[in-house]
Structure 1
């Protein structure tokens, strides 16, 4: 049997959640996760030249594209056709059409098939 003195010490001993003077410590609330980027932000990242994005925007775009393989494929196809247009490398168009059809993405597949139906003369490119 325990003595009254040892019982008092045990009752006064601070527990794991007690502070220096036996008072409970305030609970730390976890920080909420950051809000997802808006549609407008993501659209801006997708349509701007990669060189104009900040490092933070590159990282956020990478995270968005990593979460949606279809969007990543569409992004790459749009970048590729944009490069063809700005660099005037139309000879690459047939391969791009094949890639777009293989991706089977709504919108891009239809545009690629329309282009395949009405081929463009790429001999002067």
Structure 2
């Protein structure tokens, strides 16, 4: 069916690929109406980005899609709630709720979240410092990222001298254009 349809529309000037026609009529083969718009499900990475973004900064589409997902998956809703609680600690620079939050994380019954809670507990003083102080290592992390990028770009084709020269140039440009 798709082959015949593709041949007919090519004769009328269609320059698209056969695969496109085949995908377009696939719902008909399954007995679905063709005019019903279908939304592509969001990727796990996209959902994670929506969850970690403050609700006030999310777009309408992301907010609506998240609400639908929360209706289908209460575990995701609980995870979102916990993430927002941690974000509130960071925004307020207040680590007092951290021990209770870690207990709630462990109590969810999700192995990944319980493992995260255990890892945070192992280094809790550093996490408290990270939450409560305004200092961070963002500048250093940016420099390290630049260095790794230069190494990847050069892919071992040049020596230390050229790498050093490119890193110094990168640092100079960063100072001029923050």
Deviation per CA, 1:16-70: give whole Å up to 9, x if none.
Answer: xxxxxxxxxxxxx352543322334323212222111122321111111221122
The structure with the greater share of residues assigned to helix is: 2
Distance 1:57 1:69 in 2: 17
Q: Is the 8 A contact 1:74 1:105 kept in 2?
A: no
Query: TM-score if structure 1 supplies the norm length?
Result: 0.62
- Report the counterpart of residue 84 of structure 1 in structure 2: 89
Question: Does residue 75 of structure 2 align to residue 75 of structure 1?
Answer: no
Structure possessing the higher radius of gyration over alpha carbons: 1
In the alignment, structure 1 residue 100 sits paired with structure 2 residue 105 = yes
- Number of residue-to-residue matches in the alignment: 96
TM-score (normalizing by structure 2): 0.45
Partner of 1:54: 59
CA deviation profile, 1:64-97 (whole Å, cap 9, x unmatched):
1221122221221122112112211111111101
Segments ≥4 residues shifted beyond 6 Å: none
The counterpart of 2:70, out of the listed 65, 85, 96, is 65
Unaligned runs of 5+ residues in structure 2 are 1-32, 133-178
**Which one has more relative contact order, counting CA pairs under 8 Å at least 6 apart?**
1
